[in-house]
Amino acid sequence: MKKDTGHSLPAPELPHCRTAEKRVKRRIYRLSTDVLTSFIIFTESGISMLVKDLLARHKTTFSFEFFPPREDAGADRLIATIANLMPLAPSYVSVTYGAGGTTRHRTHDLVVRIKKETDIPVVSHLTCVGSSKQEMHGILEKYREAGICNILALRGDPPKGMTDFVQPEDGFDHAADLVAYIKKHFPEMCVGVAGFPEGHPATPNRLQEIDYLKAKVDAGADFIVTQLFFDNRDFYDYCERCELAGIQVPNIAGIMPVTTRNGLIRTAELAGGAHIPARLLKAVSRAENDEYVEKVGIHWATEQIRDLLDHDVRGVQFFTLNCSTATQEIYKSLGVSNSRQLRN
């Protein structure tokens, strides 16, 4: 790993990055004047907006991941989806980048909008792809000014048409370098990184893969969000290997319910050869159509989460694919109306 040699800049005191405005009252938010949807959030006095503090406060956290639409027309639909999911009381929400950083500006706009219009903590993905250190510093400065204080630091996928990651000129080669840079120049920020229960496709050596994860944690990572998995045994084995390597920060399990046959195939491609258990494949193949595939996927994900809770998982992140139905149905199947009934 390369050692960052940049000069440190003084970090201003930003109390709003650490603690939400102190108040206890019911607030109703309308996320868009174009979407007639509203929801209610209860804000507790002095609640920290940092994910690491949420993890310390709750036995298990629950979060929802979204991706920014590529076109403006999809923005209102996404806002409606976010509004529909807020009654489930997630601990925080997360917003991704597109491959090669293609949705960077949309990610920033969505993250800032969520921050401004709700009290929900938000995590912004940030990748090493296509940005110099100076450009990355500017992005982080904008987040600091907007009060965005949670970052998921990733190396990132290569741009479309490329198969291998290429280090940007005067940029970062590894996620660990980005983590170290953020912690040096923006020490008030909370930084998460990615973990891979089934292994990273670019690192066949599983021992080396855990070494890379340990390097990210040693650089200052506060928590880990894992790639999706369909077999909890892979996650438990991965957690044991983390423990053996001395990785002690919380691992948040990434769960994505299958909703269509094509979606399952696409998932296997995007997740770098995800392990899809034969039992799940059989259940999907029996389904009459995608309506029933979704029911299969919801049942499978519900049982995964039920088992994870029995094993005291530190967090569950739902990869929503910008849809609310599957996540809502999983909560119903778990017998609860919101996350508060699960996380204490």
Provide DSSP, 80-100. Answer: HHHHHHGGG--SEEEEPPPGG
Tokens 């893969």 sit on residue: 209
pLDDT at 19 over 60: no
Distance CA 160, CA 169 (A): 19
Gyration radius from the chain CA atoms: 19
Mean pLDDT of the chain: 83
Structure tokens at 199: 């292994």
In DSSP notation, 87-135 reads: GG--SEEEEPPPGGGTTHHHHHHHHHHHHHH-SS-EEEEEESTT-BHHH
pLDDT at 49 over 70: yes
pLDDT of residue 9: 38
Distance CA 114, CA 2 (A): 34
Top pLDDT among 102 and 50 is at 50
pLDDT at 199 over 60: yes
Distance CA 111, CA 146 (A): 9
Distance CA 298, CA 327 (A): 8
Grouping H, G, I as helix, E, B as strand and the rest as coil, residue 61 is strand
Distance of CA 247 to CAs 10, 197, 219, Å?
A: 29, 14, 12
Contact 156, 97 (CB under 8 A): yes
Phi, psi of 184, rounded to the nearest 5 degrees: -80, -45
Q: Which residues, 6+ apart, have CB-to-CB distance to 269 below 8 Å?
A: none
Distance CA 167, CA 158 (A): 10
Phi, psi of 192, rounded to the nearest 5 degrees: -110, 165
Torsion over CA: 273, 284, 327, 330 (sign): negative
Distance CA 123, CA 63 (A): 10
Distance CA 300, CA 5 (A): 47
pLDDT-wise least confident of 137-141, 163-167, 326-330? 163-167
pLDDT of residue 169: 75
Tokens 């609310």 sit on residue: 324
Mean pLDDT across 25-29: 37
pLDDT at 340 over 90: yes
Distance CA 147, CA 116 (A): 9
- In this prediction, residue 342 has a pLDDT band, given cuts at 50, 70 and 90, of very high
pLDDT tens digit sequence for 74-109: 877 888 899 899 999 999 999 997 654 556 678 888
Tokens 């002095």 sit on residue: 46
> Helices (H), strands (E): how many in the chain?
13, 10
Top pLDDT among 269 and 6 is at 269
pLDDT of residue 220: 98
Going from N- to C-terminal start, the domains of the chain cover: 56-343
pLDDT tens digit sequence for 109-149: 889 888 888 889 999 999 887 778 888 999 999 999 999 99
Distance CA 13, CA 161 (A): 43
The active-site residue, picked from 13, 21, 44, 65, is: 65
pLDDT at 332 over 90: yes
pLDDT at 237 over 70: yes
pLDDT tens digit sequence for 247-306: 999 999 999 999 999 989 888 776 666 889 999 999 999 999 999 999 999 999 999 999
pLDDT of residue 159: 60
- For 56-343, CATH gives 3.20.20.220
pLDDT of residue 157: 66
Catalytic site residue 65? yes
pLDDT of residue 207: 80
- DSSP state, 271? T
Mean pLDDT across 220-245: 97
Cβ atoms < 10 Å from Cβ of 152: 25
Structure tokens at 243: 């423990």
Contact 283, 300 (CB under 8 A): yes
Mean pLDDT across 168-175: 79
- In this prediction, residue 13 has a pLDDT band, given cuts at 50, 70 and 90, of very low
